[in-house]
Structure formats: C-alpha cells, structure tokens
Structure 1
C-alpha cells in the first residue's frame, strides 16, 4: 500500500463492513461488488457502503481529516504564523520543495528526493532546526492526518474551565447563591460574597474550604453569572430565568385565522380622563399569526374593568367602517385585498376600511387581564372556534402578540404627547402635564394608525418564500394567502354583533329601561311597557344588550326583532361615553353632595367632564381640589366633638344658604351646550 493514494478505493482492497471483512471485487458506476471471507458476493451502493458506521479500509491508515478554517482564523497571529512555518518545513521534507515554489525550481541538495530517502530528508530537517528526528516525524504524521491544524501549538487552543482552579465546593455554593438571586432584589457583589462565605462555612465548616482573594472572588462570580443579569435589571433577570430550556419553536400558520393571539398590556403613554386627571392607558389586541393583522384593538384606562373577550370577537368579525376625516387611501377598495370578491358576499365592504375581516379557528388567550365570559365561550363554540389558554407566566405561548406590543410602542406610542418611556430611567420631566389625548380620541387615532401605519407597512416577519429579502405588509400577506388557500370570511351580521355584547335583564317600565341609574326610552318600547317578556326563568324581564364603550344606547330583544333604545339624557351630553366615564361621574356627583342616583345630576356632571376633557387636562386644579377635599374631611373630623356641645341656634336664626360655585365663565363651552 506504500505510495498509493489511501483516499481512493480500488479493486483488491479489503474493507470492514457489516460486522465482517470483505474484498472489493469490482467497481461499476456507483455500485461496489464485495466478496466476504466465506466466498459470498454482494453488490452495495458506494454511498450506502461509505456511510455505514463500521466501514473502514483495512491495511491502510485512516483517511485524512479536513482543516478547520474557522478555527485557524481564530488563532493569534504568532501561533498561526508558526504553524504556517512548520507547514513549509514538512512539505519540503515530503516533496523536496517548499509550498509555493516557482516552476523549474530545484530542491536543495539535502532534500532532493532523487538522492536521499524520506527518513534521510527528515534527519536533514531535524539537523537544520536543531531538534530530534522524532519531533519532525511527529509533525509529519499530524500534518498527514489534520493538515495545518495538526501543526498548531495545542497550548494556544487548550480549553480551560471558566472557574480556573477554584474549589468545586466553593463553585457549587456560588451557583446556589446566584440561583437564589433570581427572584430577589438586585444587590452588589460584596453582598453575594458574604452570603457565599456563610453558606460554605455552614455546610463544610469554618476554614475547611479555601477562599480566594477579593479580586479572584470577583472574577469567579463574573464568570459564573455571565448572561444571568445578577447585578443588572431584576425584570430582565426574571425573564431570562423564565425562558424554556429547549429551543424556541416558531408559531406557524398557513391561512388567515388559523391562530389568533389575544393579550393586554399597559401602554407607555399618559391619557386624560374626563375629569382632567391623567392615567396610563391599557391596550388589548387580537393579532392573526399568519398575516400579523391586528384584528381588533381596545383601549381603556388602567385599573378599570377588564375587556371582555366577546367584545374583541365582535369587533374582529365585522368590517372596520370608514370614519369622517379619514383619507380615501385607507379604503379597502384602494388596497390590494380582494375587495370585489368580498363585496359580492357583504355589501358593507363597500364602505369598509383596509383591514381584513378574519374569522379565527383557534384563539390563544391569557386569562389574566382579559375577561373570558360565558358569552365568549358559547359564541366560540357556535362559530367553531377553539379557545386555547396560555400557560401562566409563559409569554412564549403568545410570543407574536407580545412582540406586536413592542412594535406598537416603537412605531406609534413614542410619537404621542404624554409618552412616558419604557421605564422610569427614560421618563421625561412632568410627563403628566404633556398628556392631551383622551381615551376616545386616542382610540380613534389608534384605529387610523393601524390602517395606515401597520396594515400597509412591510413586516419583517412576513417574507416572500421565493424572495426572502423582500418583506410584505399584513394586507399583502392576506391577499396572497387568500389566493393560495381560497379563504373567504363570513362576517357577522348586525344581529350577530349584538349577540356578542354583554347582557343585562331589565323590566320595561313606563319611564323605559334603567341600567346603573341610566334611563333608556323610545317610542318603540310602547307596546312592551309593563309586559311580561315570556321568559319565565328570568321572571319576565327583557334581554338588554349594551356596549361598555358606548353607553349612549342599548339594544332590546323582542319577538319581532331588536329595538335600539337611546339614553334619555343623551342630548345633554355632547358625545358617546364609556362605562368607566359614567362610574367616575357618579363618584364626582357624590363627592359634590349631589344624589348619585339622580341621573340628571350625574348627566350634568358628565357633560362638564366631557367639556373639560375637550379643553385639555387641568391637573393642577384637580390636585388643588383633591387637597381641599382631604383638608375639609380632616377639619370635619376634628370639629365633630365640639359641635355636639354647642348650644342649638335660636328658632329665629336661619341656617346659612349654601353658595353654588359657578366657576369661570367659558363662552366656547357654553356655546357648545346649546348646539
């Protein structure tokens, strides 16, 4: 076998295969004919033969391995240059000429293969370098098997433990202390060192485990805490520890609505309540995985009642109507979506905005901030929608909607007045005074931004499979998936939309219907006043549906159909109002000494709230009023015992008449009352 190319398989070679020795009889194309020791012949594909785990050519040296170019490039320059120099010497011994020699170059006399044998040339190289023949022969053998990597000084690539020579018992104690820091408040390295020393002494005894110096202790802690954020942000540390150990599996969806994720979060922006006070806004959205479409988005003040998932479902399954003042480019007819095809199914698409109507197959929902009502569960069962609960404290179950929140903060929220920043360290000065947006105004602005800044914007996660460098928008992705899978949504009718709204059971009296001290009445309720609804289980009460974000009207189910009943005091209020607006108005009426059950008084307070909200927040006067109410309560408590000992006033004496505070006259606000 000497002098032959050992990387070539030839007839006559003996190989080890399938638990025995075989001789190569013939080679025909990609097939190899083998003869075993007992004379049995077989034909095997060459690819199958060489891929066998026990395949080897007997009587020869192992096949040479390829050089790792990445590892060679990572070596320090002196180490790599020394390996290249040794390669020049080894090649000169093997061939008589150094690598890269010009054609026609003659070998040096002591390395001429025609005059000297390989061993004699190796001895000449050893004498030239001043080392033993064994060293040169070892370098030749490593070069034959590993190439240039075999000539590298292995001391430069030797792997070492990050903990060095530290005692294993000390390393175990540091790891245990680092694990305990995950849920604790962020401390300093000296605190951790003190806890580690106490832990080691309590476990093994004082002075048993050798402790390093302070600097070495610091280096050891830094090496073991890499990537754990032990001395950084506590939130980041907990999030990092909560990550699953296995690899991340992306969520796939091949058609619109295959999976829709729903979640809530607090936005980094301050909004103005109708009272003029400023609070954070909470956003609840539903995102389609296949197209990244924001199917529905609802804003509410932080601390109020959670958004009902049935309301989100209702908004997802109806077209988004165009609003006054919106650009014509936001119409569905102006987009690339199959508008004509959808228009043949539902005429409401003619005035619809460019947001797809997506009927979900599966809804992934977090039960923490989103209220899952019985209406939502029954509607999903009726529509064939599967509801999947996300695991507690596992944001990776709905990673796409979590990433969408981050994108909304970056692309939309940070451009708003009253932006607070992601944390306190990035918050500006007096952010509350810069807040100008109310919840209804910000909701309308958000709806318009979703059409212009999200649905029409190329999304980095939506890539053309044939042109990966090109990203597409959610609307374009929806159009392409509709063409590919033939998806055609069946949108909800008006009656179906009302079915998903919250329900209240009330009697129809002479004055109409009363819900939370709000009275609703219209002429169509005449035949049903003081009448039994026919539903014995509800004691004859009537089924009333209402929108928590627009309490200006309710919807009553009768045997002949639905009746839309407006609020009787709606002309007194300039616009629609939400449930949290009404509750806040009732609290202010009670604080002012008015009867909070008197809806006319509360309506006047509500109108003042909306008027004040239109003219911007007045946090300074609100704070002064708050301090005045607190001081008045304290004085009342302090003077209460004294008033019991004072003599009663004479019958002739009249109690002072309370003076009403009319405030400062606002001509614009007064004019709006009479419009």
Structure 2
C-alpha cells in the first residue's frame, strides 16, 4: 500500500493542485474536501482519493499582489526601473504560465504548464535566462519571485541607489542623548548660542560612565547634529517662541467649534509700537488692549492706555456690549445703516443702533484670557459675573490657546501702526532715527484714529479664517460673517442701562470745589453739583470725598455719585468741551435724516485710504514734546545759575521808515575765557 502524502493542514481558501488543475478549497469535512471545478460549480473529493493522487500538492493561500507605490517608483533611476520591469515579466510567467502582454487564448509553454510544479518552472526559467546570456540560478529566480509576491515591482528593484542613511549618521547614541538633554535644559533659559550647547553636551557626557566612554565626533559633525536636533525648536532663536513650542500640545491640535457671535471671545493686551504724546506732554509708548470674537473675527473693542489696569479691562467689556456711535468727521460710508449688517432688523430690537457705526454689538458668552494680573483681577471677574459671562483662563504658558487675539494684535501692528508717525518697529533693530522730531499724535487722538480704522478697514477686510464651508474659495469679512450668522442665531441685546455702564467705569475720589471737579488738569462742572460744593460726602473711609466715575477714553464728561440723595448719578461736562474739537465730544445727530444707500467697496476703500493718509501726516500743527521732570529740573537749575540780564533801557524807538546801518553800530569788546589748565597752580597770583 502506498504511503499517503498528508499535508500539515488544509483550510478553506487554500489552493491545491489535483488532477492536472489548480483548485480552490471551498469546504473541509472529516472525510472529504469541496473543490472548485472547471466543468461543474464544485467537486467533492474524498480525502483518501485526494491524498493518493500523484500530483496532489498544497499550493497555499492565494496572495493579492500589493499595489506598487507610484511615488516610490519615481525615486529610482530609469535603468534600475527598466531592469525591475524586465524581471517582473519573467516572474509573472513563472507564476501564471504566461508572460504579460500575451494574446487572449494563448497557452503556456510546456515548461511553464500549470501541471508542472513551481520548483520545476523556476528551474526552467533559470535555464532559459542563462541560455539567453543572463547567468541565473533557480534560487535567484525563487528569491525574486518571493520578493515580488511580498512587495510588488519595488521588491525587484535595486535599492542601493536610494538607500536611506541613518538619521544621525554614525554619531554615538550617548552623544545624541546628551545633546537632547542640553536642548531640553535650554527651553526655559535665556537664549544662548550653539557654542554653549556643545559645551553643555561635553559637561553632561562627563557625568556618566557611558558618556565618558562615548566617541565624540568632530566639532563640525557636532554642529550638523545640533542643526538636526534643534530643527523647529528655536533653541538659539526667540525665547518666547521656544517656550510656546516646547510647552504646546504634543497631540494633534483640536478646534473648538464656534457657531454663534459671542459664543467664545478672547481678550489680551500688548505694547503698541508707536510713540505718542501722553497727557503730561511726555513722549511714551502705550499698551493696546482688545477683544475679538472668534466666530466672526470682529474687533468688538480696542483701547489704548499707558499702562493697562484691571479697570481698563472692565471698560473694554462695557464698550463691547455698547454700540460704536458715529463721530464728527467720520464719513457717512461708515454708518451701520450703509453697511452689509442687517441694520433695519437690528434697530427694531435695539434702539441704541440708530446712529451706530458699522461695527457689530456682540454680547460675550465666554471670555478666554491669559493669567495676566489685569484679567484675573477681582474687578474684571466681578464685571463678568454682573453680565453673566463665563470666565475661562488658559493654561499657563499656553498662548496658542488664545491664538486668535494673539494674531489679531499682531495684525493691528502690521496694518495700522506702521502708517503712524513715531512708529518704532518691533525691536531696536527695526527702530528708525529721530522719531521724536515727527508729528506725534496724542493718546486721545490716536484712540479716535484706531476706532475709525477698525470700523473702516478691519470690519471690511476679507479674513482667511472666515470661509464658506460649502465654497472654501470664498472669503468673508467680519461684517459679512456676522450678518450671515445672526440670521441663523438671532440677536439678543444686553440689558445694559446707562447706570450699569457708569458702574463699570473706573472710580476716583475727589473734592467738589466751587469751580467744580478737577481731574487730569481738566475741570468738570454742572448745575447738579450745587449742593455738593465744599461739602462732606459722608463716606468716612474716603475722608468725605465724592465718588467720581469716568471713561478713560472719553474726556468729555464724568459722573458723580450723590451719596446724600439715594446714590444717583450727576453728570458733569468738561468746561472747555465746546472750544476744543476732541474726538469724544457729545454727539447731536438729525433723527429725521433720510436713509442713505449702502456703501460700495470703492467708497470704503477711499475712506480707508484717506484715514491712513491723515494718520501718517500727523497732527495739523507740530507739537514739541514736553521735557520730562529730570529735564525740567536741569533747565530750572541752569536758569538759576545763569547771569541776571537786566531789561534793556528805554530809548528812542526807530521809525518804521528809518534804517540803521549795522556796520556803524559800536560793538562791545569780546573778552574770551581762558583755557582750563589742570597743572596750573591755583594760588598763583595773576
């Protein structure tokens, strides 16, 4: 009895060679196999008959050829790819009996017939190639066939021309580890050069036995290794950027979905790179504090202060929920009634928008800020609680969590500040010369220009972050995006009365004199202050002074709390309001003016161009900056030490028609001062 050829195992999906055909296994039982057949749908073969057949062989599970990566095929030279394709044709003939490109109906050659084993076909292919002048062994053909089945045509190519080099070359692992440690130590330290990093690497290597035994490469190799390891880390660059990248998220960035105006707003402050004339006449730089709406990128408020305080953040919050009124000198194209904003429908809900400029009024739901003392102060938190706003500070050292306001403040410097006289640039390398000689704007004038620029330029500038999801190629302006979202989300005006607005303003305590109240060298008076003049307020904690609230960005008026009569407010106006054209004066608009047509893009562009031209020219009259206190003391002392020159004696005046020859005038003798000789005897008599 012949010995049965038992395979290790046969499972569904395997392919077996039986009766001159390669068949697939459809089902397996204890006594038979169900195989595919050319004439019938299937054929059941008993295991005893199958194992006794001379040509029985388990070919194996059919493998799907991998799809060749086209991008990798392009990196090989043409000669290498030509040889790989040449080998592919021969390997396919070994596997399937026919070469690629064979005509339909062709039959395999006898040495590659399906009834022959794979080993026999590989020996036949090796003999064929050797006879054709390409010496090859059957093991080489088998090796090529296996690589082709695993990798496709890429497995037949010679990889030596495109062999990848190690990431860090032949550098010792201990050196790489030490350099990584030195780079990590430099994250929160001051910026140093690569020379210090390499010195620190040497110190770290001396601390461990592995480091002392490590093979340190040449200095040039160390610098190349340092370049690879510090790529994108800013180790020798900006310290702020370095910390931001090091402490940032290591996982893919998420995005907070925002679908309504005011859902998430961000607030921050930064120095403005412009010299201005402060209230005391001294030149200085100011800080810009602004709030941006994430959904529409609207700058709801932006204020300038010499130094930002907690009360300034509360005033900014009050301005955010208050319409921006048109001001004298602003062109009509900046009215909300002539913008893309739905002014008529909003006016029916909020009467405050009747004479508003084209800047949306957005009520915050959540405010995101950093851990600056201005924003985490009790004053700002209480203002948020009063308006029912959720206060959300970011994680420490994570400025990317409020990236929208960070980018917005940078854009203000690029799009607005550089057009102003006295622009200083980002740092001392970008600063020009003799900036103090330029016509500088005062703080109040610059605030007015900034407000006008926001309405004219920023709110009508297409923003890359405001795209139509259905048509990504279309950009929106902040006003257009607000008009789109408010149609779906609606508009709810904040119930902020005039008294509420005054309560949010910073408070000061002053005496009410006969002439009124004096604040910042400005006098405010009102008939309502009559019973308060030179009277005690009754507030013992403040020594009887009266509580005064004022808007730091509006010098036209103040409000005094009447502690004696129910705590109401008495409004007092600046004494010279009607004489000086200040940008925040009282406004009087015609309530029966006709509806103006919508402003065109050309009109808005003209308004922006005129604004930038006016801003760059500076004030109409040049003003000399007032010297500082130190300079004033020097001048005063110089005048006190100088000689007293008597006034000229009264004499006959020259008639307008008379002329005097200057050459005939008698000049006084000039007695020059002697040179100081430090070696001269001071007690020597002259």
- State if a TM-score over 0.5 links the two structures: yes
**Alpha-carbon distance in 2 for matches of 1:58, 1:479:** 69
Root-mean-square deviation (CA), in Å? 4.2
Q: Which residue of 1 aligns with 2:73?
A: 72
- The answer to whether the aligner puts 1:122 opposite 2:125 as a matched pair is yes
- The answer to whether the aligner puts 1:211 opposite 2:225 as a matched pair is no
- 1:320 deviation in Å? 0.6
Q: Which residue of 1 aligns with 2:569?
A: 562
**Alpha-carbon distance in 2 for matches of 1:429, 1:509:** 46
Q: Which residue of 2 aligns with 1:310?
A: 314
1:287 alignment partner, SS class: strand
**Alpha-carbon distance in 2 for matches of 1:428, 1:518:** 35
- The answer to whether the aligner puts 1:167 opposite 2:168 as a matched pair is no
- The answer to whether the aligner puts 1:90 opposite 2:91 as a matched pair is yes
**Alpha-carbon distance in 2 for matches of 1:626, 1:541:** 32
Q: Which residue of 1 aligns with 2:506?
A: 502
Alignment of 1:321-400 (within 5 A): 321-368=325-372, 370=374, 374-400=378-404
**Alpha-carbon distance in 1 for matches of 2:449, 2:524:** 30
**Alpha-carbon distance in 2 for matches of 1:82, 1:299:** 72
- 1:103 deviation in Å? 5.3
**Alpha-carbon distance in 1 for matches of 2:509, 2:639:** 44
- 1:408 deviation in Å? 1.9
**Alpha-carbon distance in 2 for matches of 1:416, 1:209:** 58
| Change beyond 3 A, Cα 1:371–1:518 | farther
**Alpha-carbon distance in 2 for matches of 1:431, 1:98:** 82
- 1:552 deviation in Å? 4.3
- Cα pair 1:269 1:416 within 8 Å, conserved: yes
The count of corresponding residues between Structure 1 and Structure 2 is 564
Q: Tell me the alpha carbon deviations over residues 149-204 of structure 1, each in whole angstroms, 9 at most, x when there is no partner.
A: 22233556665542233222222222222223334444444443333223323433
Instruction: Choose 134-143 or 423-432, whichever is displaced more.
Output: 423-432
- 1:442 deviation in Å? 2.2
Alignment of 1:510-529 (within 5 A): 510-513=514-517, 520-529=524-533
Q: Tell me the alpha carbon deviations over residues 326-349 of structure 1, each in whole angstroms, 9 at most, x when there is no partner.
A: 222221112222211221123231
- Cα pair 1:436 1:617 within 8 Å, conserved: yes
2:463 alignment partner, SS class: coil
Q: Which residue of 2 aligns with 1:618?
A: 624
Q: Which residue of 2 aligns with 1:201?
A: 206
- Cα pair 2:93 2:112 within 8 Å, conserved: no
Q: Which residue of 1 aligns with 2:428?
A: 424
- Cα pair 2:88 2:153 within 8 Å, conserved: yes
**Alpha-carbon distance in 2 for matches of 1:378, 1:235:** 31
| Change beyond 3 A, Cα 1:277–1:269 | same
Q: Which residue of 1 aligns with 2:466?
A: 462
Q: Which residue of 2 aligns with 1:251?
A: 256
Larger Rg: 2
- Cα pair 1:319 1:355 within 8 Å, conserved: yes
- 1:565 deviation in Å? 1.0
| Change beyond 3 A, Cα 1:404–1:563 | same
Q: Which has the higher helix share?
A: 1
Q: Which residue of 2 aligns with 1:643?
A: none
**Alpha-carbon distance in 2 for matches of 1:437, 1:516:** 18
**Alpha-carbon distance in 2 for matches of 1:370, 1:395:** 16
**Alpha-carbon distance in 1 for matches of 2:269, 2:385:** 23
2:274 alignment partner, SS class: strand
- Cα pair 1:251 1:289 within 8 Å, conserved: no
- 1:522 deviation in Å? 1.9
Q: Which residue of 1 aligns with 2:681?
A: none
- 1:111 deviation in Å? 7.9
- 1:316 deviation in Å? 0.7
Instruction: Specify every segment of 5 or more residues in structure 1 that has no aligned partner in the other structure, as ranges.
Output: 16-22, 27-56, 579-611, 640-654, 660-675
Normalised TM-score (structure 1): 0.72
**Alpha-carbon distance in 2 for matches of 1:331, 1:373:** 36
Instruction: Choose 409-418 or 627-636, whichever is displaced more.
Output: 627-636
2:500 alignment partner, SS class: helix
Q: Which residue of 1 aligns with 2:265?
A: 260
- Cα pair 1:263 1:370 within 8 Å, conserved: no
- Cα pair 2:276 2:443 within 8 Å, conserved: yes
- Cα pair 1:125 1:136 within 8 Å, conserved: no
Q: Tell me the alpha carbon deviations over residues 544-600 of structure 1, each in whole angstroms, 9 at most, x when there is no partner.
A: 21112334431123457432112456678664799xxxxxxxxxxxxxxxxxxxxxx
Q: Tell me the alpha carbon deviations over residues 73-122 of structure 1, each in whole angstroms, 9 at most, x when there is no partner.
A: 344555544433432443354456654x4858989989875999733542
Q: Which residue of 2 aligns with 1:646?
A: none
- The answer to whether the aligner puts 1:12 opposite 2:26 as a matched pair is yes
**Alpha-carbon distance in 2 for matches of 1:530, 1:617:** 37
- The answer to whether the aligner puts 1:409 opposite 2:410 as a matched pair is no
- 1:292 deviation in Å? 0.9
Q: Which of 442, 456, 473 does residue 446 from structure 2 map onto?
A: 442
Q: Which residue of 2 aligns with 1:668?
A: none
Q: Which residue of 2 aligns with 1:670?
A: none
| Change beyond 3 A, Cα 1:365–1:658 | farther
- The answer to whether the aligner puts 1:271 opposite 2:285 as a matched pair is no
- 1:428 deviation in Å? 3.9
| Change beyond 3 A, Cα 1:403–1:188 | closer
| Change beyond 3 A, Cα 1:91–1:285 | same
**Alpha-carbon distance in 2 for matches of 1:245, 1:494:** 48
